[in-house]
Structure 1
């Protein structure tokens, strides 16, 4: 097996439990990256030659290797055992088979995501190394879960970045366009073939559960609604009405389908348009809402985007606050890994101060138990949500 020898001191992060190796940490004079095949395995050694483990390698990426094992090998048996471990962990903490079954590095399966929607599974593979074990993954999932169908959603940006082929296909059984599942006791349908990512965003499950306690008889605005994860659940928990806003008409059509699925289409309104434009129009029309959910896509995708992205969070939080009624509730969320939770709090503080309103943070949340945080990899802890009462 090929070897990658690290520069002196570069092993410290790995010894604390991290799994990523950056190209500038490799002693390329002693172990050239050039010529190594993407997805091949290599042994990682410190500058003194001590074995640190086995990794997948991709010499063309900034993260040029991902540690798989602290031993000198990684096999199909390891893949199978880790899939079983991930399943047992979810079964321990969830009473309904609707969850993220595999969450990449946190489940010691870098580059692999599996979402479970009851009897159906959606699989995503995002690096060359795990791609070689794709059939092993599918076969083991069939054995463990006995699903009715498995959809391979390998048509995402991560694969494009790695230079991998884009594929969207059913690899086992049958998978309908809209698959039934459940979140927080609410029956829903996920557009797994055409929707974003795997078709649903399970990561906000606990934050939605928190909000569901506080929506009775309230008028709710769900911004960046996608298929209605927040708004539909609010209606199911007694909200008087919900307005879902999204730039995609297709996403709003899925919202309507989920409203019909729960028999409360009469309480749902959808507005197609960019959130900023819709917010500005609503402000000019002096609209008011009791609850506003602000759950945008990542405004800070790369560290160098931090300044512009932070300004965008400040701006959109202030616009949303202008629509909140007296004693209203704002859910201010972010999925930007490069935005710290206290920075989002500062966006809320600054916006409230500029508007002369008193803000109180009632609760804060992150991702659910099916998106476990690896304690040595801060990058796995990306989601944050603050529940803000505005007097």
Structure 2
């Protein structure tokens, strides 16, 4: 018999409405025995069934719901069905040559991330309950999706909140982890062993394509360029000149290689700078561009640091706006869930006021559709992306 967990009166309403997480302070008690990582049954205070979840009492998120069908078993067939559903969805809505194959809770596989780079897969396990099924996931990737190689990138601090160690390494026979992919007509070298996250930021795929129409014959500045993705898209779209800047010398080196790979070295250049320092300096010097792009890392990963992050976002947006020629375009984004849409909007508005510029919104976008936003789980919504004309 499965162990049964019961929630306090008044608790679990979000989970009853579809949210996959239940926190430890919502649990009144349980009947039976369990080991962390086990599948247990979850009930509200009225003894109504909510779902089957995996349990980890070492985590604040003590229960993560896998199914709301009391008769559904969590086994190989369950994972095969969930992964098939995720794949069929992506085949309809996005170019799947390289894409996010499984996006955790939004694909009803909480704690599991799978990114596909051509025929190679990067797997990230963020929770103990998913770790127990890793062998099944690997088997399915090989048997059903023709994986030539699988690499684990569970080297993320969030695992420590689950009482787990960070880990990375091969989940298949070893292979060359530098893979060449093509996205929006741009070629990249992707290092799935040592690159950021699982190797590449796939979530901006459609946003990168959206800048093409703005960049023909333009002088473009791309800040926080990382491996040069926005800069290279500007170059492919016919920009007159592109300068990408990043604080990481390794990122600048990788971006320069990507420019060479695409035959863009004559027009797309990269330099190592701290964006905060250099934007302040260049804006004072009166440097101007037709298009300025800001794609910073998340300045906040918790509610407690939102105030400081807001100051950082305002500063770079202020300087970025100041460096756009009149009638030019300003592209800005935030990948932090805690910098919510309204707060980000207000921060940009304050920056525009202080720079004495008027912004005309061209487009608002979010993360690519292979990173679906589950309305029952607002944590799945994190990327905000604006295109403005500066007038």
Give the TM-score normalised by structure 2.
Answer: 0.95
Shift of 1:291: 1.0
Segment of structure 1 superposing worse, 172-181 or 145-154? 172-181
Q: Does 1:62 align with 2:83?
A: no
Query: In structure 2, what is the equivalent of residue 104 of structure 1?
Result: 104
Map 1:81-100 → 2, pairs under 5 A: 81-100=81-100
CA distance in 1, matches of 2:48, 2:94: 41
- CA pair 240-158 structure 1, distance change in 2 beyond 3 A: same
Q: Does 1:337 align with 2:354?
A: no
Query: In structure 2, what is the equivalent of residue 17 of structure 1?
Result: 18
CA distance in 1, matches of 2:386, 2:62: 35
Map 1:224-235 → 2, pairs under 5 A: 224-235=224-235
Whether the 8 Å CA contact 2:3–2:31 is kept in 1: the answer is no
CA distance in 2, matches of 1:174, 1:330: 43
Map 1:97-176 → 2, pairs under 5 A: 97-176=97-176
Shift of 1:252: 1.1
Query: In structure 2, what is the equivalent of residue 348 of structure 1?
Result: 348
Q: Does 1:31 align with 2:25?
A: no
Q: Does 1:242 align with 2:242?
A: yes
Query: In structure 2, what is the equivalent of residue 311 of structure 1?
Result: 311
Shift of 1:174: 4.6
Segment of structure 1 superposing worse, 292-301 or 166-175? 166-175
Shift of 1:380: 0.5
Query: In structure 2, what is the equivalent of residue 214 of structure 1?
Result: 214
Query: In structure 1, what is the equivalent of residue 48 of structure 2?
Result: 50
CA distance in 1, matches of 2:233, 2:173: 30
SS at match of 2:214: coil
- CA pair 37-282 structure 1, distance change in 2 beyond 3 A: farther
Segment of structure 1 superposing worse, 100-109 or 321-330? 321-330
Deviations 1:26-58 (A, max 9, x none): 11xx3399x953322211111122221111111
Deviations 1:274-322 (A, max 9, x none): 2101212322433221111111111221112222222221111101112
Query: In structure 2, what is the equivalent of residue 265 of structure 1?
Result: 265
CA distance in 2, matches of 1:160, 1:26: 22
Query: In structure 1, what is the equivalent of residue 385 of structure 2?
Result: 385
SS at match of 1:4: strand
CA distance in 2, matches of 1:196, 1:38: 30
Point out where structure 2 has 5 or more consecutive residues left out of the alignment: none
CA distance in 2, matches of 1:41, 1:89: 27
Whether the 8 Å CA contact 1:21–1:65 is kept in 2: the answer is yes
- CA pair 362-25 structure 1, distance change in 2 beyond 3 A: same
- CA pair 175-239 structure 1, distance change in 2 beyond 3 A: farther
CA distance in 2, matches of 1:96, 1:262: 21
The alignment yields a C-alpha RMSD, in angstroms, of 1.8
CA distance in 2, matches of 1:333, 1:77: 39
CA distance in 1, matches of 2:103, 2:191: 20
Map 1:194-209 → 2, pairs under 5 A: 194-209=194-209
Deviation beyond 4 Å, 4+ runs, structure 1:
none
CA distance in 1, matches of 2:319, 2:306: 20
Segment of structure 1 superposing worse, 122-131 or 286-295? 286-295
Whether the 8 Å CA contact 1:221–1:291 is kept in 2: the answer is yes
CA distance in 2, matches of 1:300, 1:47: 36
SS at match of 2:172: strand
Point out where structure 1 has 5 or more consecutive residues left out of the alignment: none
